[in-house]
Amino acid sequence: MQKAGQKTSYQCTDCGALAAKWSGQCADCGAWNTLQETLVSKTTMRVSRNAGNSIEIAADVVLASEPRTATGIAELDRVLGGGLVHGSVVLLGGDPGIGKSTLLIQTLASLSAGMKTLYLTGEESLQQVTLRAKRLGLAVDTLRLLSETCVEQILDTCRSDRPQALVIDSIQTLYSESLQSAPGSVSQVRECAAQLVRFAKQTQTALFLVGHVTKEGTLAGPRVLEHMVDTVLYFEGDPSSRFRVIRAVKNRFGTVNELGVFAMGERGLQQVSNPSALFLSQHSQPVPGSAIMVTRHGTRPLLVEAQALVDSSHLSNPRRVTLGLEQNRLSMLLAVLHRHAGIAMYDQDVFVNVVGGVRVSETAADLAIVCAVYSSFRDQPIQSQTAIFGEVGLAGEIRPVPFGEERLYEAGKHGFTRAILPAANAPRKHTGRLEILAAERLADVIEAL
């Protein structure tokens, strides 16, 4: 049903162009079947606007600390930035079957010991949810469930019931009476989310929205969802492995560098407190040709192992083979190694592999690659628990890389005791138990190895 002042129009989900009438092809970008019904009205666009705010000096703004509640699941708390903020909206995205419902039912069961919670399911029946909760051994006597898909009904219920924490599983199953399009369509998802976000902000309810991920890997429905919420979490994992990683791609109440790691087991998701094992291959003792680099993958630092094998070649053109790394980069590094450290490999085959199928494209990986190659060439392992990063310049200098502190912090967090890094990235004050080896030239590093 449309109210006065509202008007239906059609929006392309690819380019965002608006059209007054539906057609099979977007007139702007030419994509087929992308026009979706959308509601244009002043009320849908306004999340909260207070009339007549005056200008204030930042120093005079009263800073109330955000009330936070620990969810009881430490890995989740960490990703959220130290607990759940009241009135915040968290979007949890992930492939079907990855464990979103499991994680949130566990979270709510834990939260419901101290606050009033509500789990809204639009996908599964109440029996299915209860059965799972019982199987997981959760306290079901304080777990409150609701099966409903109309967002106006949900909000009516919530206004009278006043839960302090609310889970919507999933946003794609909801619909609003004000739109005619089917649940899960872009306009429905956006309208339902907008109404729920407004409710959460007005009533200081902590809100979790579950969102499915499309084949392309983005949240089904528009990216606008990501702009509407405070925190966007992605739940990822290899379906063939038990491990699941939760990471923040946006967080208004914390950093996006934290990673929460879980293992899916018989009794739901268990926390994994030492996840470095996932990305590093396990050696009982140090082996030649292996170096640990601190690279930034996406938005966060990650410890990744580089492996090199150097073997004498019988070919006139020795082989330079790389996996997870650009081949030209390796050729360049070998040239620098020859010219500035006097180590010749013109009669050697060189193979370099980045463990775990990670693709490294940033220059900060240079130094670790050089170290791995040198270590294999000399058949001498690099001292264990050493993390390495830095760019190698053509003049044989070790150039600084961005986010040096963050990389060091990541290495320290995972129990590394030694770091080889560019001199310009060396921290000014001594950092805890991490032994720092700041290098200016490649020759310094080779000498230290």
By C-beta, is 43 or 241 nearer to ligand TYD?
Answer: 241
Find out whether 440 and 395 touch, Cβ atoms under 8 Å. Answer: no
Least distance (Å) from ligand TYD to the CB of residue 222? 20
Distance of alpha carbon 126 from alpha carbon 149, whole angstroms = 13
Binding window for Mg ion (CB under 5 A); candidates: 99-107, 292-300, 304-312, 334-342: 99-107
Selection from ligand TYD, Mg ion, none that 176 binds (CB < 5 to 8 A by kind) is: none
DSSP 229: S
What are the φ/ψ torsions at residue 100 (nearest 5 degrees)?
-65, -50
Nearest to 421 by CA among 176, 403, 35, 72: 403
By C-beta, is 101 or 425 nearer to Mg ion?
Answer: 101
By C-beta, is 102 or 386 nearer to ligand TYD?
Answer: 102
Least distance (Å) from Mg ion to the CB of residue 98? 9
Find out whether 197 and 232 touch, Cβ atoms under 8 Å. Answer: no
Two structure tokens written together for 153: 């009904």
**Residue that is written with structure tokens 């890389």 in the block:** 401
Q: Contact between 101 and Mg ion (CB under 5 A)?
A: yes
Least distance (Å) from Mg ion to the CB of residue 165? 18
Distance of alpha carbon 355 from alpha carbon 36, whole angstroms = 43
How many residues make contact with ligand TYD (CB under 6 A)? 14
Contacts of ligand TYD in 212-271 (CB under 6 A): 264, 266-268
Selection from ligand TYD, Mg ion, none that 98 binds (CB < 5 to 8 A by kind) is: ligand TYD
Distance of alpha carbon 43 from alpha carbon 98, whole angstroms = 36
What are the φ/ψ torsions at residue 34 (nearest 5 degrees)?
-110, -5
By C-beta, is 13 or 102 nearer to ligand TYD?
Answer: 102
Contacts of ligand TYD in 268-307 (CB under 6 A): 268
Distance of alpha carbon 362 from alpha carbon 377, whole angstroms = 24
Find out whether 210 and 104 touch, Cβ atoms under 8 Å. Answer: yes
Distance of alpha carbon 404 from alpha carbon 367, whole angstroms = 14
Starting at the edge strand found earlier in the chain, the sheet holding 35-40 runs 18-19, 7-12, 35-40
Least distance (Å) from ligand TYD to the CB of residue 113? 20
**Residue that is written with structure tokens 């092809």 in the block:** 25
By C-beta, is 129 or 229 nearer to ligand TYD?
Answer: 129
Number of H helices, E strands in the chain: 12, 23
Among 81, 93, 94, 289, the residue binding ligand TYD under the rule CB under 6 A is 94
Selection from Mg ion, ligand TYD, none that 264 binds (CB < 5 to 8 A by kind) is: ligand TYD
Burial of 96 per CB tally in 10 Å (0-12, 13-18, 19+):
exposed
Binding window for ligand TYD (CB under 6 A); candidates: 97-105, 340-348, 373-381, 402-410: 97-105
Nearest to 353 by CA among 381, 388, 311, 322: 322
Least distance (Å) from Mg ion to the CB of residue 119? 11
Binding window for ligand TYD (CB under 6 A); candidates: 4-12, 89-97, 298-306, 371-379: 89-97
By C-beta, is 26 or 210 nearer to ligand TYD?
Answer: 210
Contacts of ligand TYD in 119-138 (CB under 6 A): 132, 136
The count of other CB atoms within 10 Å of the CB of residue 293 is 27
Which residue is at the shortest CB distance from Mg ion?
101
Among 81, 99, 211, 260, the residue binding ligand TYD under the rule CB under 6 A is 99
Binding window for ligand TYD (CB under 6 A); candidates: 91-99, 201-209, 246-254, 425-433: 91-99
SS3 state of residue 322: strand
The DSSP code sequence of 180-194 is -SPTTSHHHHHHHHH
Q: Contact between 102 and ligand TYD (CB under 6 A)?
A: yes
By C-beta, is 129 or 352 nearer to Mg ion?
Answer: 129
By C-beta, is 117 or 307 nearer to Mg ion?
Answer: 117
Q: Is 107 left (phi over 0), alpha (psi -120 to 50) or beta?
A: alpha
By C-beta, is 8 or 147 nearer to ligand TYD?
Answer: 147
Binding window for ligand TYD (CB under 6 A); candidates: 22-30, 40-48, 90-98, 374-382: 90-98
By C-beta, is 93 or 404 nearer to Mg ion?
Answer: 93
Cα separations (Å) of 271 from 16, 131, 138, 288, 301? 40, 22, 16, 33, 21
Judged by the rule CB under 5 A, the positions of this chain that interact with Mg ion are 101
Interface contacts to ligand TYD, rule CB under 6 A: 94, 96-102, 132, 136, 264, 266-268
